[in-house]
Amino acid sequence: MSPVLLEVNDLKKHFPLRGSLLRPGGLRVYAVDGVSFRIDKAETLALVGESGCGKSTVGRAILRLFDITAGQVVLDGRRIDDMPAGSLRPLRRRMQVVFQDPLSSLNPRMRVRDLLAEPIRNFALAKSTADMEARIDLLLEKVRLPREAKTRWPHEFSGGQRQRIAIARALAAEPDLVVCDEAVSALDVSVKAQIVNLLQDLQREFGLALLFISHDLAIVEHMTHRVAVMYLGKIVELAPKKSIFAAPKHPYTEALLSAVPTPEPGARRRRIILKGDVPSPINPPKGCRFHTRCPYAFDRCRAEEPELRAMRDGHFVACHLHDLPAAQNPLAATGPH
Ligand code: SF4
């Protein structure tokens, strides 16, 4: 059996700008512009990048929250991006989501019991009333909330506890994949760590695949298997976690990593401050999209867009530096700074 759960092939999502919807050649936001990756069963893939890089759009496209512009999304060998809306029900059970703000994703007029019962009922998972209650109790235990939480309302909980309820609700559907869209970004540092540990434990116990979308590389270091780095609608680097943290091969990843504290006491990374803002996704730069901010840009970068190419050991990178002789490539063998 193939270990691949989800394949995303050359995914594009372009949003027409308001007012240019019906005009041929009208302006478009190139939110996601040719993204490919796979997630294996029981694997965590972190999708990271600055705000506006398109990572949340990728998550929502996979979940079929809107139609895509081009490309393919394949779940367990079956194409799902072109499925008619009426056939999406089984798919919705298999792919769940945990958003950043549980207060807006949990209905404030439903008690925790009903919030957890809803997906169980929708997908006809309980065999009896007793089974329903047992499932709800087990879900609360798995996310480390007391049984008494059942009778309470979402607003009675702290942010971290609410996120536990949102995770329990996602688990209630018995999914294969959970998309965590900035799921810990709004939490305090210590609570963040608790929720990340919880997600890891649940992943191991239930064999879940996680797409962990985050702007924060520091948080993904402890919980992911592989990392995909996005910049302006494209993946610029994708690699196993150890490989990307030890030796980033894209200048953008190098800059993001330079802000992450190292685990060794006293060790420091050389901080790289990127100049300028992220360019507009309405009119992305020609050539390499990162060239306007890249400290190593050279002539070819302004003219030719680099492809995402395989390096060694499952490491992929889109950067012309790796066509230069090693002596001229500052990222040929980058280790911790
Ligand atoms: Fe920088 Fe050029 Fe590599 Fe783009 S292709 S990241 S501009 S060196």
Q: What is the pLDDT along the chain (337 residues), one digit of tens a residue?
A: 459 999 999 999 999 987 665 566 678 999 999 999 999 999 999 999 999 999 999 999 999 999 999 999 999 999 999 999 888 988 899 999 999 988 888 999 999 999 999 999 999 999 999 999 999 999 999 999 999 999 999 999 999 999 999 999 999 999 999 999 999 998 998 899 999 999 999 999 999 999 999 998 988 988 899 999 999 999 999 999 999 999 999 999 999 999 887 766 666 678 898 888 889 999 999 999 999 999 999 999 999 999 999 998 899 999 999 999 999 999 986 544 3
- Give the CA-trace dihedral at 99, 135, 203, 193, to 10 degrees: 60
Those residues with Cβ within 8 angstroms of residue 309's Cβ, 6 or more apart along the chain or in another chain: 316, 317, 318, 322
CA 330 to chain centre: 28
Cα–Cα dist 314/243, whole Å:
9
Those residues with Cβ within 8 angstroms of residue 295's Cβ, 6 or more apart along the chain or in another chain: 251, 272
- Per-residue model confidence (pLDDT) at position 261: 77
Which atom of ligand 1 sits closest to the CA of residue 291?
A: 7
- Per-residue model confidence (pLDDT) at position 13: 97
- C-beta 320 within 6 A of ligand 1: yes
- C-beta 306 within 6 A of ligand 1: yes
309 CA from centroid of ligand 1 (Å): 13
pTM of the model: 0.93
- Per-residue model confidence (pLDDT) at position 18: 74
Cα–Cα dist 175/139, whole Å:
13
Could you tell me if 29 and 15 are in contact, meaning their C-beta atoms sit under 8 angstroms apart?
yes
- C-beta 290 within 6 A of ligand 1: yes
288 CA from centroid of ligand 1 (Å): 6
Which atom of ligand 1 sits closest to the CA of residue 251?
A: 6
Alpha carbon nearest to ligand 1 atom 3, residue: 319
210 CA from centroid of ligand 1 (Å): 30
The residues pairing with 32 across neighbouring beta strands, listed in sequence order, are: 13
Which atom of ligand 1 sits closest to the CA of residue 295?
A: 1
Q: Which domains does the chain have, with CATH numbers?
A: 1-43+50-92+220-288+301-337 (3.40.50.300)
**Which of 272, 294, 329 has the most ligand 1 atoms within 8 A of CB, as the residue to mutate?**
294
Could you tell me if 279 and 288 are in contact, meaning their C-beta atoms sit under 8 angstroms apart?
no
**Which of 249, 289, 311, 321 has the most ligand 1 atoms within 8 A of CB, as the residue to mutate?**
321
- C-beta 291 within 6 A of ligand 1: yes
Q: 3-class secondary structure for the chain?
A: CCCEEEEEEEEEEEEECCCCCCCCCCCEEEEEEEEEEEEECCCEEEEECCCCCCHHHHHHHHCCCCCCCEEEEEECCEECCCCCHHHCHHHHHHEEEECCCHHHHCCCCCCHHHHHHHHHHHCCCCCCHHHHHHHHHHHHHHCCCCHHHHHCCHHHCCHHHHHHHHHHHHHHCCCCEEEEECCCCCCCHHHHHHHHHHHHHHHHHHCCEEEEEECCHHHHCCCCCEEEEEECCEEEEEEEHHHHHHCCCCHHHHHHHCCCCCCCCCCCCCCCCCCCCCCCCCCCCCCCCCCCCCCCCCHHHHHCCCCCEECCCCCEECCHHHHCCHHHCCCCCCCCC
Cα–Cα dist 275/73, whole Å:
35
**Which of 290, 292, 328, 331 has the most ligand 1 atoms within 8 A of CB, as the residue to mutate?**
290
- C-beta 234 within 6 A of ligand 1: no
235 CA from centroid of ligand 1 (Å): 13
- C-beta 319 within 6 A of ligand 1: yes
Cα–Cα dist 91/43, whole Å:
19
Cα–Cα dist 263/27, whole Å:
45
